[in-house]
Structure 1
Amino acid sequence: MENRIRGLSAGLVSLGLVVAGGLIGRGFTEARLGDRFVSVKGVSEREVKADLALWPIQFSSADDDLSRAQARNEASIRRTFSFLAGQGLDTAQAQLQSPRVTDRQANPYQPSGGGARFIVSQSLILRSTEPDRVLAASQRIGELVGTGVVLSSGPEYGPSGPSFLFTKLNDIKPAMIAEATGRAREAAEQFARDAREAPQEGTPWTSR
C-alpha cells in the first residue's frame, strides 16, 4: 500500500482522492470446496481530504545581455514571493531551485536571428499544509503574470500546477484492512453457499 494518495489535479482534489482511496485496503481469504480453492478479494473505500500541497512555479527571463536577464529573473523571484504572501501562504515553506542559463548562440543547431540570446529559468517549490489556500492561489496565477512574471511550462520544466497529497494513510489503514477482510470473508462464504447449491459435475442445471 502507498502511504500517500495524490490528487489527480487541482480541479479534482476531492474526486481524485476518492478514486485513489478506492484501492487502498485489500483483504484476502480462501474458501475451500472439496479439492477446489477460490481466492476472493475485499476492497475498502474512504473519502479523504488532502493535507499537503506541493506547488512548483517555473518562470524565465530573456535578454541579449546576461546581466539584464539575471536582473529580470531576480525581479520575478521577488514578485512571486510577494504574490504567495498576498494569498496568505507561508513563503518560509518555499524553496528556490538552482537557476538554469541557456545561451542560444552556444547551440550550433539554433537558428540565427529572432529571440534573445540568454534565457534564465528558475523554479520555486512551495510546500504547504494548507491545500485549500494553495488551490485558491493557483486559480489566481494570472495576477502574477500581470506583474510581468513569465511563467514556463512544458516537459523540460517539469509539472505545472500544484499537486495534492494525503499523508496519513497509516492512521486509517488498520480500520480499512479490517473492513476489507470482512468483505472478503463475506464474499467467500457467499461463494461457498452458492457452490453447495449448484449441481455437481455431470448433473444438468435446473431453473427454479
Structure 2
Amino acid sequence: MTSRSPIIALIVAAGLAALGFFIGDGIRDSRKLTRSVDVRGLAERDVVADTAHLTINLGLSGNDRTRLFSDLQKVQRTVIQQLKANGIKDPELTETQWSTSEISAEEFKDDPERLRYTLTGGVEIATPNIEAIKKVNAGINDLIVSTGGAVTGSSVSYTFTGIGAIRAAMIAEATKDARNAALQFAQDSGSRVGAIRSASQGVFQITTPNSADSEGGNEDKTSVNKRVRVVTTVSYELVD
C-alpha cells in the first residue's frame, strides 16, 4: 500500500497539471472569441420639405354678437380668396371651428366701454405647394392691414414625409460607415474584423442643414431645407 502512494500521487499531479493546461487553454480561446469592438456609423441626406402647414388666426370683438358672426364670415371669405389667388386649392383648406368668449356682466358694468364679445376662428392649410405658402406667409402683414386687424397672426411649418423612401439606403450607408470604423480599429490593433455580434439603429432625426446635433432633439419644422440623419451602433468580433 505504501509503495503505491508515490505512484498514485504522481498520477494525480499529472492529471491536475493536464487539467490546468486545458482550462487555461480554454480561457484563452474564450477570450479570443469574446474580443469585440463597438462602433457607430452615421448617414446623412440633405432633403427639401415636401409639405407646408400654415394657420391664419382670425378674431373680432364687439357688442353685437350676431354682427360679429357675419363680419368674421366675410373676413374668412376674403382670406380664402387671397389664398386661392396664390395657388392654394380647396382640398388643402380647412376652416377652423369658431369660438366665442364673453366678459361677465360685472366686468361690463365696471367698464362699459369694453367690448363684450370676442369671436375667433381661422383657416388652416396643408399643401405640397411650398412656394405658395412662402408667398402667402410673406404677405401676412398686408393681409392684417387689408382686414382691419381681423387677421391676428399666423404660424407656418415645413415637414419632410419621405423618410420611408430613403430609410433602407440610409441604414445601409450608416452600417457601412460603422464597418469602416471597425476596420480602422482592427488595423490599428493588429486584428481582423469578424462577424457582427449585435446591432442597433437610432431614430431618424430631421434637423437644419447646418445643425451639429446628431444625438436627437426636436424635429426641425422651421426651414424648407433639411438634413436627415441616422446613427447605427454595431458590435463586431475581433479575430487575430
Query: Given the alignment, which residue of 167, 174, 183 partners 2:177?
Result: 183
TM, length-normalised to structure 2: 0.60
Residues 144, 152 of structure 2: 8 Å contact kept:
no
1:173 deviates by: 1.1
Residue type at the aligned position of 2:88: L
Q: Which residue of 2 aligns with 1:73?
A: 72
Shift of 1:113: 4.7
The whole-number CA distance in structure 2 between the counterparts of 1:46 and 1:194 is 30
Distance 1:106 1:99 in 2: 22
* 8 Å Cα contact 1:84/1:91 also seen in 2: no
Aligned residue pairs total 160
Instruction: Report what 1:193 is aligned to.
Output: 187
Task: Give 1:116's aligned residue.
Answer: 115
Contact 1:91/1:126, CA 8 A, preserved across alignment = no
Percent identity between matched residues is: 26
2:56 partner amino acid: I
State the distance in 2 between where 1:179 and 1:42 align: 8
Q: Spell out, residue by residue over 1:164-204, the C-alpha distance to the aligned partner (whole angstroms, 9 max, x if none).
A: 1111111111111111110011011212223349xxxxxxx
- Counting strand residues as a fraction of each chain, which structure ranks higher? 2
SS in 2 for 1:191: helix
User: What are the within-5 Å matches in structure 2 for residues 156-175 of structure 1?
Assistant: 160-175=154-169
Q: CA deviation at 1:69?
A: 1.4
Matches of 2:106 and 2:170 in 1, distance apart? Answer: 56
Report the residue type matching 1:67 in the other structure. Answer: T
Q: Which position in structure 1 is the counterpart of 2:58? A: 59
2:150 alignment counterpart: 150
| CA deviation map 1:71-94 (0-9, x unaligned) | 221111111101101212213310
For structure 2, the residue ranges without an aligned partner over 5 or more in a row are 1-30, 192-240
Residues 40 and 188 of structure 1 are in contact (CA less than 8 Å); yes or no, is this contact kept in structure 2? Answer: yes
Letter of the structure 2 residue corresponding to residue 194 of structure 1: D
CA distance 1:189–1:115, change in 2 (3 Å): farther
Task: Answer whether contact 2:76 2:122 (CA < 8 A) is retained.
Answer: no
Q: Which residue of 2 aligns with 1:38?
A: 37
Distance in 1 between residues matched to 2:42 and 2:186, nearest whole Å = 19
Give the structure-1-normalised TM-score.
0.68
Equivalent residue for 2:83?
84
1:128 corresponding residue in structure 2: 127
Helix, strand or coil for the counterpart of 2:104?
A: helix
Distance 1:38 1:74, change over 3 A: same
- Work out the CA distance in 2 between the residues paired with 1:150 and 1:61: 6
Q: Which amino acid aligns with 1:170?
A: G
Q: Say if 2:103 and 2:117, in contact at 8 Å, map to a contact too.
A: yes
With 80-89 and 142-151 compared, the bigger mean Cα shift is at 142-151
Q: List structure 1 segments (4+ residues) > 3 angstroms apart after TM superposition.
A: 32-38, 111-115
CA–CA distance in structure 2, aligned partners of residues 36 and 49 of structure 1: 43
Report SS of the residue matched to 2:45.
coil
> Is contact 1:79-1:144 (8 Å) kept?
no
Conservation of the 8 A alpha-carbon contact between 1:102 and 1:120: yes
Partner Cα separation in structure 2 for residue 74 and residue 194 of structure 1: 73
Task: State the alpha-carbon separation in 2 of the partners of residues 167 and 106 from structure 1.
Answer: 50
The amino acid of 1:104's aligned partner reads: I
Kept after mapping to 2: 8 A contact 1:33/1:192: no
